[in-house]
Amino acid sequence: MATFYAFYILTFYILTMETNVASALEARNYQQATCLLKQWQQQEPSSPLLWLYVAKLQEQTNKLASAQKTYLALLKQSASTKIIQQARAGVQRIENLQKTVKGQAIQAKVSANGAELAILAIASLPPSNPLSQSVTNQVANQATNRAAKYETSQATKAAIESIASVFNLDLYTARLKLPNSGLRIHRIGPWVEVDYYAQQLAAPCFCVKISQIKSLQTFQVKYFEALSPNLVVVCKNADGQLGRISFDTAEVSQVISAQLPIFEQVVDLGSWGRTVYKERVLDYAQVLDLQLPGRQIVLRICDRLYQYQKGITLGTTTELSSRIQWNELRSQLIKTSSDRHHSDFSKFSESALEFVPLLPAISPNLDLNRRAPSDWDLVFHLYSSLCYFSSTKYTAKTKQ
């Protein structure tokens, strides 16, 4: 009898408290609602109904992130159909409101500043640096390494969750958007739009205007006149004018290398013995960029365009093949900036090719004698340009 009476009293208390809290929220008396919820929490701290009204209070006081977390926790923990339905409705309201606010913010910026086209790129998280293991400090180093790995995993989790939240993606899809290394183009759109997204992300990211990429001076190197004490190149600009540039190795901030496929038509036999013309990769062009941000220029070198018969002698004899001479030149240039050498172009190109149709006309600044124009030249130019701007003070942005 005593147990039944206690249950009756508790039920009556909950119903009364629910009615009072609901009335306070309806009247927008948030101070009273907060006091009532604190009293309720002292009596029944684990009640799903209590936390439902906590979420409603958070939602109405514009604490949307906290409200969303509380609603999502209720969806996982509560067994009540009524509470689950209300929690799901709360999550939907918050998502709709966030979309509306996001759209209004972007539209306001577009109206105020125009809609210049830009690229939003997401970069990989910096790797943890495990310490070397010695006999004397092995235990301490192991603890440090575990802490570093934990911080990296937490940063990765935060980055993935922010990508999912900002772009309304599920966590699996968001994980695919975060590159394991290098860069990945995520979106092309108005500058104010992609810049807004970049500010919301907890992942390393930055924005670059198309006009910045177009204005970046890129010179095609004809040959080197000297490699020491200063490097001296003979090169041509976008207008085909020849010139000479002398620079120190310390001016080279990054070296970008890549292989670009060379396509040719080949004859093959199709069904019923019919002749079929197919386009296949027959060779690769080797390209190397030296970036000099102090002068705001890029020096582009290609094994198919380099004039080996002029300038410095590469190797011990002049009768070496162009491939051997190129490898020697490439090796010496990479040594000038070995710790800042980017060579993951193949991973970048896998997704970047899909964005080429969305871009305006951009000169790739690479005069390969192709049978037909190829998007690969432009994609490399984008890759090199993004690497350039990601390391300069103008547009680089990495949020911790």
Tens place of pLDDT per residue across the chain (400 aa): 444 444 444 455 566 778 888 888 888 888 888 888 888 888 788 888 888 888 888 888 888 888 888 888 888 888 788 888 888 888 888 888 877 776 666 666 555 555 789 999 999 887 655 444 444 455 455 555 555 565 678 888 899 999 998 888 899 999 999 998 889 999 999 988 898 899 989 899 999 999 999 999 999 999 999 988 899 999 999 888 999 999 999 999 999 999 999 988 777 776 776 777 777 888 999 999 999 999 999 999 999 999 998 888 876 655 568 888 999 999 989 887 767 899 899 999 989 999 999 999 999 999 888 888 889 999 999 999 999 998 874 444 444 3
Give the helix ranges, DSSP H, for 178-321: 191-200, 210-215
What's this model's pTM, rounded to 2 decimal places? 0.70
For residue 389, what pLDDT is reported? Answer: 93
For residue 394, what pLDDT is reported? Answer: 40
CATH number belonging to domain 117-127+143-211: 3.30.1390
Give the helix ranges, DSSP H, for the chain: 2-26, 30-43, 48-60, 64-77, 81-113, 138-167, 171-177, 191-200, 210-215, 322-335, 345-352, 375-390
Break the chain into its structural domains and give their ranges. Answer: 1-107, 117-127+143-211, 216-398
For residue 260, what pLDDT is reported? Answer: 95
CATH architecture under which domain 1-107 falls: Alpha Horseshoe (1.25)
Q: What's CA 238's distance to the chain center, in Å?
A: 30
Pairing mode, strands 183-190 and 341-342: unpaired
Give the contacts of 150 (CB within 8 A, at least 6 positions apart).
Answer: none
For residue 253, what pLDDT is reported? Answer: 92
Residues 22, 26, 27, 30: is their CA dihedral positive or negative? positive
CB-CB neighbours of 338 under 10 Å: 8
Please say whether the beta carbons of 117 and 210 come within 8 A.
yes
Nearest partner of 366 among 354, 358, 378, 355, judged by Cα: 378
For residue 128, what pLDDT is reported? Answer: 57
- pLDDT 10s digits, 86-102: 888 888 888 888 777 76
Counted residue by residue, the chain has a size of 400
